[in-house]
Structure 1
Amino acid sequence: MNFLVLKFGGTSLVTPELRERVASKIIAAKNEGYVPVVVVSAIGRQGDPYATDTLINLVKQANREPSEREMDMLMSCGEIISGVVMTATLQTMGCPAVFLTGAQAGIVTDNKYSQARILKVQPNNIIKYAKEGYVVVVAGFQGVAEGGETTTLGRGGSDTTAAALGVALNAAYVDIYTDVEGIMTADPRIVTEAKALETITYDEICHLAHEGAKVIHPRAVEIAMQKGIPLRVRPTFSDGPGTLVTSLGEVYKGSIDITRDRIITGITYISGIAQIKVNSGADGFQQQRRMFRALALAGVSIDFINILPESVLFTVQDEIAEKAVKVLENAGYAPEVITGCAKVSAVGAGMSGVPGVIADIVEAITKNGIQILQCNDSHTTVWVLVRREDMESAVRALHRQFKLAH
């Protein structure tokens, strides 16, 4: 069977008109010879009556600290409501459809409430109904622990559900529908000339997602990549082709020199960051080990680490900066802190081994009068730390420097 997994987010399902548009896309896929399996998120966003955040706020009126078990049962309701309504819409349009919860669809997880990870998928029910001619609609974001308890998968859980089903069913594609035209070269709210990419590698989109791009969850990409299932990030509100996420070889098929084809793929950012600098003295590495151990024991997660013989730089989220400082002071250090920073990232599989990338990045940012507080790189990403007020200018400067609008 030629399965196609289609995932629709909550903003695609808010009104009857939007649900009919979604149903038309599902029916079109069926008419093209695919066997559609549809994954849905909860309808709408915070403030909408059936959105997950709305349900959470409802129970917290009765108990500000409800148990994790009951919270997972509650949070799973949004996708069940969404799935039943979407199934009814398909049926009304003459398309046989059936709804399955995560448990009924065979999504088996560990027992970590609110952040469960999928252990295996047993898609027997899906295959049975598909053979009977039904479009199967599955509740995203949820599964069942082996003891029978309802679990939820955390942020981006519906993307993860779709990818896991795509792997289990050996789907031709996993289509992630969003309210943008695909994976963009930058946030179009900041860079008006940002464009949708035709193709991108698994590795590139994972880095973009980890560094702030919110179109698809990196865990979903990692699952699809394990079996080489191609992902397509597609627009709900138009008929555009979207962006194909696949292997490096497929992205650059037919290219003579990939380093000249596309050095940088996209620019993204994360704000709300604090930079911490600690002078560790002559006994640098010994002191740094002690410092990192103190932070770890206090549960402080750090990022963007630069280690020098007598000092260390790293970042934390702004909201835990005060805690990190207290931990360090209690350990005998005198940290220097800059709050209100942002990490701007340039991502591209083609940069590896190409000289001059860092030079171009530094030139683009500094000639716009922006101070670089910190810089680091890997084989596919260069990160720069700037002040929050300079973040949007830095994103635009890098987008221009690497001609991503062309």
Structure 2
Amino acid sequence: MSLIVQKFGGTSVADTDKIRAAARKAVRAQQQGHQVVMVVSAMGKNTDVLVSLASEMSETPPAREMDMLLSTGEQVSVALVAMAIHGMGAKAVSLTGGQIGIRTDNSFTKARIQSISTARIERLLDEGNIVIAAGFQGIDEDLNITTLGRGGSDTTAVALAAVLGAETCEIYTDVDGVYTTDPRVLPEARHVGVISYDEMLELASLGAGVMHSRSIEFAKKFGVPIHVRSSFSDTEGTMIVAEPESASASVCGAALTRDEARITVLGVPDVPGTSLEIFSAISDRKIAVDMIVQNIGNDGRTDISFTVQHSDLESTLQAVSAAATQLGAVGITHDDQVSKVSVVGLGMAVQTGVAHKMFRALADAGVNIQMITTGEIKISVLVSRDQASNALRAVHQVFKLMDQPAERKSWAQIRAERHEKADVNTLVARLQSDALEELTLTGIDVMPNQARVTLRGVPDTPGIAADMFESVSEAGVFIDMIVQGIDGEDGRTSVSMTIPEKDLDTCLEVAKSLMKRHGLRDVQGGEGIAKVTVSGIGLRSHTNVGTIMFRALAGADINVQMINTSELQVNTVIDGKKAQIGRERLSAAFQEALR
């Protein structure tokens, strides 16, 4: 008998009528021959009410007591759902996270799952019960109740689907699937039938609100198919699996992260260990850093810019101020009126021209780009918040995301063609691990024989980035990494790109013509560099990844010249002569971290 996991979010169990509707879906699935595990969130705004009560008691309530309090919301929901199922003549048992056997670490309010005991659930299922599990919670080794943080019920559902070997994990929500962008912002957004784990992982971290990135990490690691469906209709929804909907499309979706904040540490010494000091201070506060741009140094100093969620700005500034003082940095600036606009697609990995097409669309819309980072399947730009919606619309239109791809596959087609690609032994080993949510590396790679070109003092004017990358592309030069960051305090920026070493002279000629055309301060080039890439699952959500990397490189006296990040990769540019030792040090560091 097949098993499915059904997760119902807060809006799906907001009142007794919706609870009964959710219960009917579970009973119907059982009547169709499935064993059913439901994962349920707190009712509607119940969690907000509990948070408000806590704030009346204390301005800074203890994290342990917050978890004790917040976990009660899900306990109310699961009990009511079980009662509704009993009222329909079926059998059901509700369980808290602790009763299930979900063991976590002791990071209150942000706990990570270490193991799940399946014996009790399997026994109850075999007895004919629908099992209703409280999402968002577990217990640590001292039996303290812990909560999993934002998106915790999604994570619970996918984790249970993984350990129970479920056929699929159905996520019921107030939308009918994944769209090419947020339809509340752009009504022309198109519904997507199938999306890959990697694409969804990037979109989830970039502001797409349907799924949280931790749950997608779990699904990718253990090969769990996720079916995002509406709680209020029987429409098909969206399947999240390993394969994309279309192999021919360069971009599958666009995302807007509206409430970002940018911090720039000015004039830090361009020596090994600088990045370690800054990002370890942030990591110690469990703050997730998003865009990171460290550009090429000048006169022995460099600027490092990065973004965090607006809500983390004050805490981040406190952490960075101490590190900047210790390093002897010139100063710190920040901007809390910025937003991030991104495009994502597996097709970017094999198709050229995506970046300058995006930049031209933004220029034509009069949108100025403040920062740029690129990944293998993602391009993100930082823009002024008042231009964010226009920027999103511009990129959505230029990639024709409102139109169906010429070639697209349904989930039924993918399932019919599918061959089991995962190494079964590897999956079993992961499931038996004592830390299910541990960071999982998929590779540490070196790209040698690279060069970089840096354009300094780029005016704060729309269209220059588009002109730059169109000109370089027309010269036949393939661009790999692109980073754009703040260049001093006069509003100008600095843009660096990595290219094959053989194309350095050609690219420098183009750059010098751009300098004359746009009044840039300077153009610099350098060869003999290498890109070192760490790829894996959980690179962003594990906030200590950067610290591990920078400590390993600093320990080998290796200076980081450039950085860019994505959900799937962290790329650093270093001296090509030290690339191999850098790779060895990183391999050793992450092997130790994963033990």
Mark yes or no: TM-score above 0.5. yes
Map 1:5-404 → 2, pairs under 5 A: 5-45=5-45, 51-248=46-243, 251=244, 258=247, 260=248, 262-280=249-267, 285-286=270-271, 289-290=273-274, 293-294=277-278, 296-297=280-281, 302-306=289-293, 307-310=295-298, 311-317=302-308, 318=310, 319-320=313-314, 323=318, 326-327=321-322, 330=325, 331-404=328-401
CA distance in 1, matches of 2:279, 2:132: 45
Per the TM alignment, residue 277 of structure 1 is displaced from its structure 2 partner at its CA by 4.2
State the alpha-carbon separation in 2 of the partners of residues 78 and 277 from structure 1.
40
Return the letter of the residue paired with 2:136. Answer: F
Deviation by residue 1:100-122 (Cα, 9 ceiling, x = unmatched): 11111121112222211111111
Kept in 2, the 8 Å contact 1:273–1:316? The answer is yes
Which of 91-100 and 78-87 deviates more?
A: 91-100
Match of 1:308, SS state, is coil
1:325, distance to aligned residue in structure 2 (A): 7.5
- Mean CA deviation greater in 266-275 or 209-218: 266-275
Q: Distance in 1 between matches of 2:317 and 2:26?
A: 49
Deviation, 1:205, is 0.8
Tell me which structure has the larger Cα radius of gyration.
Answer: 2
Q: CA deviation at 1:313?
A: 4.6
Q: Alpha-carbon deviation of 1:398?
A: 0.9
| Secondary structure, counterpart of 1:370 in structure 2 | coil
Specify the SS of the correspondent of 1:61.
helix
Displacement of 1:56: 2.5
AA aligned to 2:351 is V
Cα pair 1:167 1:224 within 8 Å, conserved: yes
Query: What CA RMSD, in Å, does the superposition of the two structures yield over aligned residues?
Result: 2.2
Give the stretch that moved more between structures: 87-96 or 238-247: 87-96
How far apart are 1:265 and its partner, in Å? 1.2
Q: Is the 1:350–1:380 Cα contact (8 Å) retained in structure 2?
A: yes
Q: CA deviation at 1:67?
A: 2.6
Per the TM alignment, residue 278 of structure 1 is displaced from its structure 2 partner at its CA by: 4.9
Change (3 A) 1:38 1:104: same
Q: CA deviation at 1:184?
A: 1.2
Deviation (angstroms), 1:271:
2.3
Relative to the length of structure 1, the TM-score reads 0.90
Q: Distance in 1 between matches of 2:221 and 2:266?
A: 42
Does the Cα contact within 8 Å between 2:265 and 2:324 map onto a contact in 1? no
Give the aligned residue type for 1:24. Answer: R
Residues 108 and 146 of structure 1 are in contact (CA less than 8 Å); yes or no, is this contact kept in structure 2?
Answer: yes
Check conservation: 1:295, 1:327, Cα contact below 8 A.
no
Q: 1: distance between equivalents of 2:44 and 2:389?
A: 28
Q: CA deviation at 1:181?
A: 1.2
Counterpart CA distance in 2 for 1:21 and 1:106 is: 28
Task: State the secondary structure of the residue aligned to 1:76.
Answer: helix
Q: Report the Cα offset of residue 229 of structure 1.
A: 1.4
CA contact (8 A) 1:8 1:176 kept: yes
The residue matched to 2:89 in structure 1 has which SS? coil
- Seq. identity, %: 36
Rate the CA distance shift 1:350–1:100 in 2: closer, same or farther, 3 A: same
**1:224 Cα shift?**
1.8
CA distance in 1, matches of 2:257, 2:16: 35
**Structure 1: 5+ residue runs without aligned partners?**
46-50
Task: Give 1:322 shift.
Answer: 5.3
Aligned AA for 1:29?
A
Q: CA shift at 1:130, angstroms?
A: 0.9
Whether the 8 Å contact between 1:72 and 1:152 is mirrored in structure 2 is: yes
CA contact (8 A) 2:321 2:332 kept: no
Question: Does the Cα contact within 8 Å between 1:209 and 1:216 map onto a contact in 2?
Answer: yes
Amino acid in the other structure paired with 1:333? V
Q: Secondary structure at the match of 1:128?
A: helix
User: 2:291 is aligned with what amino acid?
Assistant: F
CA 1:325/1:166 → structure 2, altered by over 3 Å: closer, same or farther? closer
Name the amino acid aligned to 1:309.
Answer: G
TM, length-normalised to structure 2: 0.62
Aligned to 1:48: none
Structure 2 unmatched ranges of 5 or more: 404-595
Q: 1:76 to 1:274 in 2, by over 3 A?
A: closer
State the aligned residue count: 390
Instruction: Give 1:151 deviation, angstroms.
Output: 1.3
What is the Cα deviation at residue 309 of structure 1? Answer: 2.4
Q: 1:273 to 1:36 in 2, by over 3 A?
A: same
8 Å CA contact 1:328–1:335 kept in 2: the answer is no
SS in structure 1 at match of 2:51: helix
Contact 2:266 2:329 (C-alpha < 8 Å) held by counterparts: no
Amino acid at match of 1:17: D
Counterpart-to-counterpart distance in 1, 2:205 and 2:223: 20
| Deviation (angstroms), 1:272 | 2.6
